[in-house]
Structure 1
């Protein structure tokens, strides 16, 4: 670890003085420092474990002790046992296993006890680490298969750049599955470079980085297919089964709750009795040509008969918006997902600005290939607002992590952390324009086509930043400078210029909590989905941290 035992005990003593007295805690260090990673900006993550009967809050308290940021989480033995049991029960269906739950269990199992060692070890024994390795490996493997199948479909539809990004996501997920089987179960990918070094297989590590570098090259159809094939070969060599070699096994299926209504020549598609999409002439022709339940290549051939040029991207948009679904024969719906990103599911674009909105012939649309959403309901507005606040918190956290990584010369960590900041900024930009649920992070840079034309330059700049590498201190400093300028640009476009520097001090963190709480009240009133589970504790506590003394 980068901190000595004496230093950790000193930080713990000082942290405990800020908590209400009277509880006898066992304490363990979790997170990146306990894993053997970390840098000067890394949190000190203390987990306090007690035998009390009442449920303890999920949300951590954030303290500032001797120039270090300290997170205090509390759990009862029963709460931890329930978490481990839930992971074991969900192991048979890894696609439904919560990333947050898996991450919480992983942090405990790989934690470093500081006090009450016997109680900490008793809790850990609830789920043997060897069993957890297998569960985590299966969880990553499931996600890798989903991403590879999705990438295969996107290539068929002519969405080459997006296909390359999902291939890249599958590459990470495949190697994380392999590494988890060797004990490297830490979920967040930003420390992947160190995990691969520690795994002791230079051949796997070097092949991974070669394929990762190849993903940044030109994305013409031939290169994209060649890269996908190489990643499929690599995944199979790592032991991944069920990888897609036959696009014919992908089928386009009906989505529950989606109905079609035509007024004159205008096609309206209603999703879930709530969202109405108005289709332009070309989009409507492609929609009417769909024969669902058939293999994707055949469906694409059918749409070619609609007379519409390049129908693939329109069919991809129908999939993206959840108007139809993609399935794998014998494997259910294809639902790709990325770690530490927006949850998988249908994308909702911003509302149409066409005026007048309606005529006797149907809704107005922006053009022949338009798939325009009518104005969003109030609960989605609130959810987008909460996502906007949370994305800015993530940006602040990522910039701080990047600064720490550069100080330590952790170039790979710096690259991944910078990408996280760019993706979080783009999530905020999309949320500010009413996009909710959000696209996957890898798709955000292209989904600026959902936003006003004035934001397109931001998407271009984001694409440039996502391709920047770091191999030296000079390159790292340049990346940090460009990233800060990018964040200023994005925040200006989404009206977040005055967002507090969340992690600078107790005062700025308190201001961030208050800002989040103001939006949470509206969201809770409307029954909107909260951005993270901890938000419930913030709401219950009227904007205050759960573990601070009055």
Structure 2
């Protein structure tokens, strides 16, 4: 160690003087943990003391930090019962190394390799709960599991055309492989930062030198051939060190469904819901690729089918689906491929920043930023679906109001005409707000005053709406001009929200059928997400699969 026993005891005495007195009658022991206890460390390394008490109380996990003699000193406390529980939890989870907590493994490792300073008998009693040889096997298996995941993931990334990323995961798999091998020899310290010293102590210069050679030859900016060559060499080295389950067999990688991921299409737009909360909208190319997926197939076959879609470079798009957790990769006979790094963010799907496309949605689907987009909508999936249903329904109400205005003008019913105009304007504004994801909506009478919630480009619509809401009608009113003015306003709003192709709902049986089908597409999503339905009758439309309830079969 870089500190003598006397120096450690002095630091411990000074540290204990700074702490509260332990409970009277409690048996205590003290060990030195961490890199210095392992025989590593340098003048900047902190001093890690663990105080072990024979008490039934749970002692705090958070350390106390002291700054003594130019060093940082961390003092942790643990009861015998807590430490015994840690070792038991580790043993119980050892059969599934992929689920073992890194923090739990690290805590157990630090204690087992600690240097006793006080209460040696109590320290030995606690350490005896988990034999060191057993811990070596658990740690070696834990690293081996991660090495397999990283190397299989690197293989998949190469197939997907993501060569640079494949090199990074190959390097991660290489470190994990060597850490597994070293753990079997007793070098179980988890943090990779002391790997060079661990390899020096392992007594196998051939393994050490081969590792550093492979580390040094990792391509800096890899083309596919260089990345594959490096991965192949690392796979061979891993198998030489006893790592199983990593042959170069891309056909063993399969593309699988992720629980809780569902697909919904409205018009040409493909929407993918993740975990019933986040909604992703796919651009035209991304949507075509998504529709081509046949889950359960080997990755090479999925890529072959993707090539038939005409989408350029499908591999990187599939990689995006994978990163976002919309699909998963599995190794035949080996479960889901879940790569992870030590001392890093936990593995799991990425959640990108929300899309900035405005408006958020149209009656045909979510707005996207481009053909290869896999855009996260900036509001929860249930609110998105509710806003979309409100958008469709608002346009139905607009058509109904225009129909009412047409009849009122023909019969000279001017008060009816005024109310019909206001109803149409309010309904159109409801659609405008809904297209920007506003839900629940302001009251109709507040809509025109709440346009400051929307982008500045909607201001002309607000001005036009204000004029129409103030209009009056009487015997001298030009009814055709009023109808044209309202239709112009409706067209202005629909152009802004992508609803310019909305059917003239009450014009014919065909346009009503098209309206019902459009509404049904959105109702299916809304019902799946338990979103608020715009009207109660919508349940009947859903039950009838988009058909009228009394329609002859």
TM range (shorter): 0.5 to 0.7
Gaps of 5+ in 2: 382-553
**Aligned-partner Cα distance in 1 for 2:365–2:67:** 58
The equivalences for 1:120-139 within 5 A come to 120-139=123-142
| Paired position in structure 2 for 1:220 | 223
Task: Indicate yes or no: 2:238 matched with 1:235.
Answer: yes
**Aligned-partner Cα distance in 1 for 2:62–2:255:** 41
Secondary structure of the residue aligned to 1:59 is coil
Deviations 1:120-165 (A, max 9, x none): 1110111010110011001101111111111111100000001111
| Paired position in structure 1 for 2:276 | 273
Which of 267, 277, 282 does residue 264 from structure 1 map onto? Answer: 267
| Paired position in structure 2 for 1:22 | 22
Which of 315, 323, 326 does residue 326 from structure 2 map onto? Answer: 323
Deviations 1:155-199 (A, max 9, x none): 000000011111100000000000000000000000000000111
| Paired position in structure 2 for 1:351 | 354
Q: Which has the higher contact order (CA 8 A, sep 6+)?
A: 1
Give the deviation of 1:376 after TM superposition. Answer: 6.1
| Paired position in structure 1 for 2:83 | 80
| Paired position in structure 2 for 1:255 | 258
Which of 204, 214, 221 does residue 211 from structure 1 map onto? Answer: 214
Which of 55, 66, 74 does residue 52 from structure 1 map onto? Answer: 55
Give the deviation of 1:377 after TM superposition. Answer: 6.3
Give the deviation of 1:243 after TM superposition. Answer: 0.8
Which of 101, 121, 125 does residue 98 from structure 1 map onto? Answer: 101
**Aligned-partner Cα distance in 1 for 2:86–2:176:** 23
Preserved CA contact (<8 Å) 2:219 2:227: no
| Paired position in structure 2 for 1:299 | 302
Deviations 1:77-115 (A, max 9, x none): 011011111111111111111111000000000000000
Aligned length: 378
**Aligned-partner Cα distance in 1 for 2:248–2:110:** 36
Give the deviation of 1:371 after TM superposition. Answer: 0.5
Give the deviation of 1:375 after TM superposition. Answer: 2.0
Give the deviation of 1:65 after TM superposition. Answer: 1.5
**Aligned-partner Cα distance in 2 for 1:19–1:116:** 18
Q: Pick closer, same or farther for the CA change 1:122–1:225 going to 2, 3 Å.
A: same
| Paired position in structure 2 for 1:454 | none
Task: Indicate yes or no: 2:157 matched with 1:154.
Answer: yes
The equivalences for 1:457-496 within 5 A come to none
Preserved CA contact (<8 Å) 1:336 1:344: yes
**Aligned-partner Cα distance in 2 for 1:308–1:377:** 29
Task: Indicate yes or no: 2:114 matched with 1:111.
Answer: yes
| Paired position in structure 1 for 2:388 | none
Give the deviation of 1:17 after TM superposition. Answer: 1.6
**Aligned-partner Cα distance in 2 for 1:294–1:204:** 38
Preserved CA contact (<8 Å) 1:94 1:142: yes
**Aligned-partner Cα distance in 1 for 2:246–2:144:** 10
Preserved CA contact (<8 Å) 2:219 2:230: no
Measured on the aligned residues, the alpha-carbon RMSD in Å equals 1.2
Gaps of 5+ in 1: 379-550
**Aligned-partner Cα distance in 1 for 2:64–2:110:** 17
Secondary structure of the residue aligned to 2:187 is coil
**Aligned-partner Cα distance in 1 for 2:308–2:11:** 69
Secondary structure of the residue aligned to 1:207 is helix
Give the deviation of 1:361 after TM superposition. Answer: 2.0
**Aligned-partner Cα distance in 2 for 1:240–1:82:** 30
**Aligned-partner Cα distance in 1 for 2:129–2:365:** 60
**Aligned-partner Cα distance in 2 for 1:44–1:51:** 23
Deviations 1:276-319 (A, max 9, x none): 10111111110011010100000111111111000000111111
Secondary structure of the residue aligned to 1:54 is coil
**Aligned-partner Cα distance in 2 for 1:177–1:269:** 39
Secondary structure of the residue aligned to 2:86 is helix
Secondary structure of the residue aligned to 2:116 is strand
**Aligned-partner Cα distance in 2 for 1:237–1:82:** 36
Task: Indicate yes or no: 2:8 matched with 1:8.
Answer: yes
Preserved CA contact (<8 Å) 2:219 2:226: no
Give the deviation of 1:216 after TM superposition. Answer: 4.1
Preserved CA contact (<8 Å) 1:148 1:244: no
**Structure 2 length-normalised TM:** 0.67
Preserved CA contact (<8 Å) 2:357 2:369: yes
The equivalences for 1:344-493 within 5 A come to 344-375=347-378
**Aligned-partner Cα distance in 2 for 1:187–1:157:** 32
Secondary structure of the residue aligned to 1:294 is coil
**Aligned-partner Cα distance in 2 for 1:74–1:174:** 33
The equivalences for 1:495-506 within 5 A come to none
| Paired position in structure 2 for 1:467 | none
Preserved CA contact (<8 Å) 1:152 1:244: no
Deviations 1:508-546 (A, max 9, x none): xxxxxxxxxxxxxxxxxxxxxxxxxxxxxxxxxxxxxxx
Deviations 1:491-524 (A, max 9, x none): xxxxxxxxxxxxxxxxxxxxxxxxxxxxxxxxxx
| Paired position in structure 2 for 1:168 | 171
**Aligned-partner Cα distance in 1 for 2:375–2:334:** 32
Which of 311, 314, 317 does residue 314 from structure 1 map onto? Answer: 317
**Structure 1 length-normalised TM:** 0.68
| Paired position in structure 2 for 1:415 | none
Task: Indicate yes or no: 2:199 matched with 1:192.
Answer: no
Which of 327, 330, 341 does residue 344 from structure 2 map onto? Answer: 341
**Aligned-partner Cα distance in 1 for 2:176–2:224:** 23
Preserved CA contact (<8 Å) 2:279 2:380: no
Deviations 1:40-80 (A, max 9, x none): 11110000000110111111111111221011111000110
Give the deviation of 1:266 after TM superposition. Answer: 1.1
